Chain A
Amino acid sequence: MGDFITEADGLETQEFILNLGPQHPSTHGVYRARLVMDGEIVVSAENKIGYLHRGMEKIAEGITYAQFTPYTTRFDYVSGAMQPWAWCIALEKLGNTAVPERAEYLRVIVGEFQRIASHLVMLGSMVLDFGAITPWTYVFNAREEVLDLLEAVTGSRLLINYFVNGGVNADLPEGWIPKAEKALDSVLKRLDDFDRMVSGNEIFVGRTKGIAIVTGPEAIEYGITGASLRASGLKFDLRKDSPYSVYDRFDFEVQTLPTGDNFDRYMLRLLEIRECAKLLRQAMKTIPAGDIRAKVAKVWRPAAAEAYAAIEAARGIMGYQVVSDGSTKPYRVHMRSPSFCNIGIIPAKAPGLTLQDFISFIASLDFVLGDIDR
């Protein structure tokens, strides 16, 4: 940042503190950063979280397993449908429940559509932070089509409570798969429009390439997972590396990009949406007939045990540790949420960025406050 004069002859400049958030248009919720600024340059940054803390872990101890399932959709509300997945797998491990095959396929289909919707939000809100309003409407129109599909299956659009212990809530409506294929085509077409408009834009490339580079070792050190990790050149995806559900039956590539700068983190989401579409087409073609839900007792008492399950959620690894004491309520629940771990890198990378680059950096990390504060 040698272009800025910080201290000219006889002119002294003074650092000041800027509280970015919790009410700020581009902190994506109630995130707050306490920035020490030298003019336009960030000298140091500090994460301040907790404005959305709802005590979810404690709530879980007071209600039954089935009652807590809808709560899990409230963590990462941008990819609501995927959120109960890890929780359900943990419960199925506790109760030794075998999930019917069709239910697993339905989980993959709904989950991957939700991943597309979530990445579309990320792309749109990131370019919105660059001041581009028109591309944002392109991807949100695409997301709207995905949400219509999800609504047809699950009945809701944002906080989708579809996954349950032992399967899913509802089967596909009639004629849904052809409709979904068509919608997928149109989503990809809109995405191409968006890609053409933004990815090659000189201003966008100039503002993202080489900014806030997170190297592979750094990403591991700070516990970054998900697309932000893969953008740093590391090929790690739970869907491939420790396959849950029926992911081992599909042919898809884990996308990686080498640099780990803002542009790669943006581009990786674009690539992943296209890969998701590939995966979805296979899943929709090969979905078997059968039950959608295993028999689970109304008053469900798992044996006193512990279980951990993790999935590759839209923002990284979402894990649940569930401890049961043999009663109808969990003894202890703990989550490992991707957004919380991913924002740990912000104070390390912020110094030296301009305020504008800081905003695009936190946008490229793609966090959701419900996921951070829980």
Chain B
Amino acid sequence: MEFLTAIFNWVQTLLGLPTTSLADALPWWDILWALIYFVGALILLVINVIMLIWIERRAAGFFQERVGPNRVGPFGLLQTINDTVKLLGKEWIMPASADRLVYLIAPLLIVTVSVTMYGLLPYGPGLTPVSLNVGILFFLAVSSTNTISVLMAGWGSNNKYSLLGGMRTVAQIISYEIPMALSIIGIVMITGSLDLGKIATAQSHVWNVFIQPVAFVIFVISALAELTKSPFDMTEAEQEFVAGYHTEYSGIRFTLFFMGEYANLFSMSALGVVLFFGGSNGPFLPPWVWFIGKTYVFILFMLWVRWTFLRIRVDKMMKFNWKILIPISLANLLLTGVGIKIWQAATGAIRW
């Protein structure tokens, strides 16, 4: 791989860095693997988004006594590609009074965050792109930065509807992170690890959803709120805010928001599968098939909820979070702790 090293040296001279630093610090295969991971995550992201949009539209059609897209390609599979090409060809309209820098960075940021989260997921044994021992913590931290890009979009557009949508999102996502984190802590306590891969393999006998059913319900509700899906779709409530924070975005910039939204849907569902449904564990089929299959079932469940419920009112949403979800999740946490101690005492792991 002489030529790869040469390329990096060339880039470094271009950037004015000393030619020896990067190539010496990192062997070329590390850089190559990083590149492969990155491109793989990107391809996975794009294919996933295209599939998800198609699934959502067909599922919505099924729920609503209609057909859904079925003209372009077999079963309308190519409809999304068609629409993407259309969106790419659209004019970029920017409001004259927009805050330029903030307005332009927001859509890029939202996709960056989504790509980052794809790298953390354990798709199977030996198929984790970046295995961190604080995986969950990192996942939650990164996913919460979505708030920033949404707020940037809402503020930068200089539109009242966008701003209101952006503000709602901040309130909503920040609030619902707390019950989500609390529901995950129970699992971390049981497994004794923050590593996503270890949590998945620890469930080879029994899935966490049976050990922690309350935490699972809280997780699903908070995940819906985090993803701003119905009944918590406050941010882009078109009946109130036209399109919420992305009202003023068009063309490729709008596409990026759209992509980010669906990419987050996948990564959040994948997290749910890792935490509660045993990740890639399963008989007969290869692990990654189990992982993707479980994730898609989880996503279909979310879509089912989305197309059935109506939107909750914004003050009731906050009340529901602070007065119901958080107390329940705290109680669940306490019960889990006591339960673990009793289990340890019963199995003789500790002595009183």
Contacts and interface: CB of A to CB of B under 8 A. Distances in A.
B314 A203 contact: no
Contacts of A198: 310
Nearest to A26: B239
A137 B64 contact: yes
B308 A134 contact: yes
Given A131-B231, A203-B309, A354-B313, A359 B318 contact: no
A124 to B, nearest CB: 12
A123 interface: no
Interface in A190-204: 197-198, 201, 203-204
Nearest to B315: A3
Interface in B177-200: none
B319 interface: yes
Nearest to A201: B310
A352 to B, nearest CB: 12
B43 to A, nearest CB: 32
B2 interface: no
B314 A128 contact: no
Nearest to A4: B315
Contacts of A359: 239-240
A138 interface: yes
B315 A354 contact: yes
Interface string B64-100: 1110000000000000000000000000000000000
A146 interface: no
Nearest to B167: A39
Interface in A126-157: 127-134, 137-138, 141
Interface string B200-223: 000000000000000000000000
Contact of B160 (A4, A16, A137, A356): A16
Contacts of B311: 130-132, 203, 356
B351 interface: no
B309 A26 contact: no
Nearest to B243: A25
Contact of B239 (A40, A130, A197): A130
Given A129-B239, A131-B230, A133-B64, A207 B312 contact: yes
A1 B314 CA distance: 12
Interface residues of B, number: 27
B248 interface: no
A1 B315 contact: yes
Q: Which of the four size classes fits the interface of chain A?
A: 20 to 34
Given A25-B238, A130-B311, A203-B311, A137 B66 contact: yes
Interface string B213-247: 00000000000000000110100011110100000
Q: Output the residue of A131, A132, A138, A203 with the most chain B CB within 10 A.
A: A131
B310 A356 contact: no
Contact of A25 (B231, B242, B319): B242
Q: Output the residue of A16, A127, A198, A355 with the most chain B CB within 10 A.
A: A355
Nearest to A27: B239
Nearest to A25: B238
Interface in B230-283: 230-231, 233, 237-240, 242
A138 B65 contact: yes
A137 B238 CA distance: 17
A316 B312 CA distance: 30
A47 to B, nearest CB: 18
Q: Output the residue of A24, A134, A357 with the most chain B CB within 10 A.
A: A134
B63 interface: yes
A18 interface: yes
Contacts of A141: 65
Contact of A131 (B164, B237, B315): B237
A206 interface: yes
B314 A40 contact: yes
Interface string B44-62: 0000000000000000100
A138 B230 CA distance: 19
B300 to A, nearest CB: 15
B57 to A, nearest CB: 12
Given A131-B310, A206-B313, 7 more contacts: A18-B160, A24-B242, A40-B164, A130-B311, A131-B230, A137-B65, A203-B311
